[in-house]
Structure formats: structure tokens, C-alpha cells
Structure 1
Amino acid sequence: MIGGFLGAGKTTAVARLARHLTDRGTRVGLICNDQSSGLVDTVLLRSKGFSVEEITGGCFCCRFNSLLDAADNLRRASAPDLFLAEPVGSCTDLIATVSYPLRRIYGDRFTVAPLSVLIDPARAARILGLAEGRSFSEKVTYVYRKQLEEADLIVVNKCDAHPPALLERLASTIGDTFPRAQTFVCSVKEGTGVDAWFDAVLSMDSRDSRPLEIDYDRYAEGEALLGWLNCTVQLEADAPFDGNQTLVDLASGIRDRVVAQGGDIAHLKMTLDSRDGTGTLSVVSLVGNDGEPDLRESLLDRVDRGELVINLRAEADPAVLESVTREAVTSLSGVRATMEHLEQLRPGRPVPTHRMTQ
């Protein structure tokens, strides 16, 4: 499993590791996970040619049987040698509720790798007291820190976008605060420094994994402060438009409106698929209230239509997220927008199928 809080770079990491394995002749199956349907992650990973199953409606711990079903579906479809699973970005307690049950109930079918947890340096520096700036409330921060506490491998991601001095301080603080975990510094986007982490994941050595001591009431309260929104929109125009710039402008518009309403963005991800048969997507990611839209992948040409998928996670009322998203989409210049699907929610209390502590 490759975990970490919303916006840490999990999907990019899954894609990077999956490509690394595929290039070496290993067949991989990918499993995405979310609280609701209409995932950018699934669209993105399938566009890269990977076999992907999607589990919605709850995290792996609460949809454990669905996790087994997803693995079975992938096994029948593509016979993978290895599964890469990306849990919900607000989920924790994965050792006790996923890793232990897989090893102890289904050990004849699965060997479980160490749990990786990715972090975004800017967000981690604020939460760990190394930098000033607005951060999440105490209850959401509790979930964030619990993710780090249970990690076997902590990956300080996005080293290409932050100064070495900050990365060194962050790695040192993580080593002191969470001494059981191995710490790696890399950029999964650029592929810098990933080899050592990949080797640790593929060692399959999770013998020292330990379950968390966790207060499920605080955990549930922290998750419930997060608003979730997924939507799918059809865009059309009378003349070809720049789909890449449209996504960048839309991301800025949604961010500004969330901030104006007093919310804290965890992660905003969007894709635009022109459906032109090339398999290319425009992909934009934005992390935090002070983040700028990051155009991760680009359409090759102007388009006159496309399917837009928006995934927005923030510490805010889900109804506010719906309102600002509808307003920002409606405000797009030069295109007609038809909303096909929209879900907004707060995550429910986690109720694991299994929880094994020894």
C-alpha cells in the first residue's frame, strides 16, 4: 500500500512504481480507493495503460471484502504478479485493519509489503512546526500524524520543488519524531531518488510493522471535518479552446472561492479528456490554499469538447464545495458546461471489517 494524506503525490507514486515494475517484466494490478465514485486517479492510471480496479464508498479497512474482490478481478483479467493499492488520503490504522488481516487470514494468497506513507513537504513542515502558515484544525492534524506514526517507510516527496535546507530539516525531524520508520527523500514526479524507496518496498520486509494506538472517536471527528466532492462535466465550444489553460483557470477559480469561504483545500485534482482517440489527458493538481495549479499532463492540441472530472477535498462544508464548484464551472469563458454527475459528502465513521492488534 502507498498511503499518505491528500495531495502528497500517491497516485503519481503508484504510476511511477507501476511503470518501473512493468519495464522490468513484472505484471502489476492497481487498486484505487475513494469515499465516492468518479475518481480522477482511475481515469489517469487507466490512460497510462494499467489494469485498474476502483473501490468506492469507504476506505480499504471498511471495504475489506471489496479489496479482496478487486484483487480477484485483476487476477482474472490480467494475472498480475503484484498489486499496488492506494488507500483514501484521510485513512489511517491500515496495519491493524488491512495488513494484518491480509497476512493472517489470507497469508496463503498475499505477501504484504511495508506500508509507505508519502508527505508533501510544505504541509508537513507546517504540521510539524518547522514553518509558519495556515494548516488544518487539530482533529484533522491528528489523522495526519497517525498516518506517519504507523508508517514503515516515510517518503518526503516533491524534493524538486523545495529547497534542500527545508528537506534536510524535515527528514531530520521525521527521523526524531517517528524513529521506527525509514525515511526517503525523492521526487516521484521527476523520478529523482526513488530507487532506494522502491528497493525498500519490494523487499517485502514488513516484519516490524506495528498497529497504532488510536482513538477512533478523534479519528472519526477529524475525517468528518473534511468535505468531499467528485463531479463529471461535459464541455463543448463552438470554436476550439485551450483545454490545458481552461483547467488551470478553473483550478484557480475554485481555490479562490474556497479560500473566500474560509475553507482549507487539502487537494484539488482535475482531468480533461478530449475523447479524440489519442489517449492524452490534461491533468491539473493543486495542494493547499496557497498552492498554484500544477499542469501535470497536457493535451497536444486545442479541443472543441471534452469530459472534465473534478475531485475536490477540503476542510469545509461539502455544500460550500458544491456551490463554489458550480459557480467556477459556470464562469468558464468560451465553453458550455453540462454537469452530468456530482457527489458531495463528509466521510462517515470508519468501522473496520477486521482489526487485529497482535
Structure 2
Amino acid sequence: MKVIIIGGFLGSGKTTTLLKLGKYLNDKGEKIAIIVNEIGEIGVDGTTLDIEGVETREITNGCICCTLKIDMEQALDSLAEEYGPDTVIIEPTGVAFPRQIKEEIELMKITDMEFSPIINLIDGSRFDLEIEQVPKFIKTQIADADILGINKIDVATDEQVSKVKALLQHCNTDAKILEFSARENAGNFKELIETIGGKGKQRDHFTKQNSIAESNVSSHAIEYAIETNDLEIKKGHEMANGIVDSILSQFIQLNPDFIGHIKMSMDLPETFLKISLTSSTNKPEIEIFERENVANPKIRALAAVTNIRQDEVVKILENTIKEMFAETGITLQRIQQHTDTKNIINLCDISI
């Protein structure tokens, strides 16, 4: 069983890359499984992770390199026994250190397992903000990688890409650097897929670190039941845009240069809608999927952003959603919530 780890900070394009890679390998006849780690206990991506013929596991409510090692071992064991994949692709949360995950998995002593080169993705369009907001964290992720992928070259300028490449070469002289757009299958994306087939490098183990604490990210996730089946896609689209725009403007007031993730999804009667953005300078991206009729519409939201106090993240996320729905006369029923902050997750130095 081959294990591929795709790392990168929040919003670097890991899920898009994972889905494209999973589909490519599946189409080649390989038996593929995917493990995705969300920072909050609520899986916001939902339908976007569905690939026909691919087994998917979501591990939520923490970081698999810190607090969820047991969950990872259980997921890998169950996949090996029940599904028997040729390849397992792991997408850790954006506040994880990929090499630390690899080292934890190696300690699990799972038979017939080998690792592909560790991949770390960088958003070429906002790398200057990442280095400014969380310099030590980003440099550690870069140093972890065997392959460094400068992603989103379709929206980054040539000057931005050149600047990022020069810094990556300085921070990690041994890594292979590839420039591509996972969304557009452009640049060196095909080469990335081909390179993954190789073997990962063996390195000396390093001291465990609390990646969430070093990321300066506070997060909050919440899920509500929508108490109506009459919310049409057009209206849902308008409300989703309004909610994300409002959250964005409030976060900018507190940290004009924040990076991270604001993600929201809606389960509507015959549609799954997802909207996300990754920094104070980006525009929201919207995806709409047709689906079978949903008996219980829901809205899920996650905010994980740098250098904003956790209580502010909670207040802004919850109040904005409730106020937007109250204006339309639609009732929400809270299902669950989860809050993470760098001050309360401190289990990284505890080994299983």
C-alpha cells in the first residue's frame, strides 16, 4: 500500500489536487482511498470529495499530526482490512507538518506500506502574505517537502511565481519544484502526478512540534439545520455570497492581511452549494453540484484564519449566519459546533 501525503497551508489547493490525482489513478485501474483531515469537527466539503470508485474517510476535530494519531491509525487499519487499496492519499489540515504525519504513520508498523515523496503546495498568488503572517510555520512546511508545488499559476503573476520559486530554492535546496495549476491541469501538473510514483526520501526524525500553536490560526466550525424545504438555489446562492462577504469584511477590520479559510456549504433540496475563500485579497469561489432530493437541508461553515482572536472568529461566524437567515424569516436549528485555537491544543508531544 502506497501512501501519498499532500500538505500545504490552508487554501493552497490541496483538495483540488487530491481529487484530480485520485481520479487519475482510479482511471488507471488503481484501487484508491482518500483520508481528509478537517481542522473542525464538521466536514464542510461533503459532496466535493465524492469520486466514483474511491473510498473516502474524513478525520475531523483536530490535526492528525497532533491530536488525532489514534484516529489516523484506525482509519488506515480499517482501509487496509476492509478495502485493500493500492494507494492511500492523505490530505492533512493546512495547519499540519507533513513530515511529522509521515513519521507517526511509520511508527504504526502497518505491513506492506511505502511512502511517495512528500508534496507541499504553495499558493503562488498569496505567498507573500503567508510568509508575513506565519513565517516560521510556512518555512517548516517547506523544509518538510520532497516536492514543492507552486500552485494557482493561472491566477498568480509571472513575477509572483519567480519570487516564490527563488525563496523555495533558498529554504529547501533538495526539493523538486514544480509550477502548475491543479484546477486547470496546466503547467507541470502532469509531471507532478508522474513524480508521485517515486519513493519518498528517508530523513532523520525531528523533534515533534505543535503545528497548530505555531500556525497562529484560530478556527470555529458550526452546523445548522435549515427549517424549510423551500429555499431555492438562486436565493441560497445570494445568501451564501452575502454571508461570506460580510464575514470577510469583518475579518479584514481585525486583520487586513489574514490568510486561512472561510468555507461554507449548503445542502439544499436538489443542490449542494459550496463557497470558499482563502485570504483577505481573494474573491470567493463557488461550486454547485446537483444531487438527489435532500430531506433535511443544512448549512455548514468553517473559519480558520491567522492572527484574529478566537472569540472574535466565533462571534463573527455565528452572528453573521443567524442574522442573514433571520432577515429572510428562515429558522435555523443548531446541530453542532467546534472551536479550535492555538491556546487549547497542546497534545503534540504525547506519543501513542
Q: Distance in 1 between matches of 2:233 and 2:296?
A: 8
Query: Which one-letter code corresponds to 2:299 in the other structure?
Result: L
Q: How does 1:329-344 map to 2 (within 5 A)?
A: 329-332=321-324, 334=328, 336-338=330-332, 339-344=334-339
CA separation in 1, counterparts of 2:255 and 2:165? 31
- Given that 2:34 and 2:57 are in contact with CA atoms closer than 8 Å, whether structure 1 keeps it comes out as yes
Aligned to 2:22, which of 6, 18, 23?
18
2:324 is equivalent to residue 327 of structure 1: no
Distance 1:335 1:21 in 2: 47
1:311 aligns with 2:311: no
- Alignment map for 1:66-81 (pairs within 5 Å): 66-81=71-86
- Alpha-carbon distance, 1:234 to partner: 2.6
Q: Does 1:44 align with 2:48?
A: yes
From 204, 220, 232, the counterpart of 1:240: 232
Give the conservation status (yes or no) of the 8 Å contact 1:52–1:74: no
Equivalent pair of 1:152/1:209 in contact (CA under 8 Å):
no
Q: 1:326 to 1:7 in 2, by over 3 A?
A: same
Tell me, in whole angstroms, the C-alpha distance in 2 between the residues paired with 1:248 and 1:49. 33
Cα distance in 2, alignment partners of residues 305 and 105 from structure 1: 39
Deviation at 1:208, TM superposition (A): 4.7
3-state SS, counterpart of residue 227 of structure 1: strand
Letter in 2 for 1:80: P
Residue of 214, 223, 235 corresponding to 1:222 = 214
Alpha-carbon distance between aligned partners in 2 of 1:91 and 1:239, rounded to the nearest angstrom: 37
- Name 1:144's counterpart in structure 2: 138
CA distance in 2, matches of 1:270, 1:55: 18
- Whether contact under 8 Å (1:319, 1:344) holds in the other structure is no
**Distance in structure 2 (CA, Å) of the matches to 1:7 and 1:239:** 29
- RMSD, aligned α-carbons: 3.0
Q: CA deviation at 1:68?
A: 1.9
Is the contact made by 2:6 and 2:119 (CA closer than 8 Å) also made in structure 1?
Answer: yes
| Aligned counterparts of 1:292 and 1:14: Cα–Cα separation in 2 | 22
| Equivalent residues in 2 for 1:80-95, closer than 5 Å | 80-92=85-97, 94-95=98-99
Tell me what 2:189 maps to.
194
Cα distance in 2 for partners of 1:33, 1:239 equals: 30
Evaluate the alpha carbon distance shift between residue 154 and residue 164 of structure 1 in structure 2; reply closer, same or farther with a 3 A threshold. Answer: same
Which residue matches 1:132?
none
Alpha-carbon distance between aligned partners in 2 of 1:213 and 1:226, rounded to the nearest angstrom: 21
| Equivalent residue, structure 2, for 1:131 | none
Displacement of 1:211 = 4.3
Separation in 1 of the partners of 2:218 and 2:315?
12
Extract unaligned runs of 5+ from structure 1: 129-134
Number of aligned residue pairs: 337
Alignment of 1:248-327 (within 5 A): 248-262=241-255, 264-276=258-270, 281-298=272-289, 306-315=297-306, 316-327=308-319
Identity %: 19
Find 1:167's aligned residue among 161, 172, 177. Answer: 161
Equivalent AA in structure 1 for residue 309 of structure 2? D
State whether residues 150 and 211 of structure 1, in contact with CA within 8 Å, keep that contact through their aligned partners in structure 2. no
Read off the aligned partner of 1:226 and give its amino acid letter. Answer: V
Instruction: Return 5+ residue gaps in structure 2 as ranges.
Output: none
Contact 2:61 2:338 in 1 (8 A): no
| 2:58 aligned residue | 54
Distance 1:296 1:7, change over 3 A: same
| Deviation of 1:25 (Å) | 0.9
TM-aligned CA distance change 1:328 to 1:298, over 3 Å: farther
Taking the aligned partners of 1:42 and 1:48, their CA distance within structure 2 comes to: 14
Deviation at 1:85, TM superposition (A): 0.6
Whether contact under 8 Å (2:229, 2:297) holds in the other structure is no
Query: Which position in structure 2 is the counterpart of 1:346?
Result: 341
Change (3 A) 1:241 1:220: closer
TM value normalised by structure 1? 0.83
Letter in 1 for 2:164: L
The CA distance in 2 between the partners of 1:220 and 1:340, in whole Å, is: 25
Moved more, 19-28 or 340-349: 340-349
Change over 3 Å in CA distance of 1:150–1:36 after alignment to 2 = same
Larger mean CA deviation between 1-10 and 47-56 belongs to 47-56
Q: Among 110, 114, 117, which residue is 2:117 paired with?
A: 114
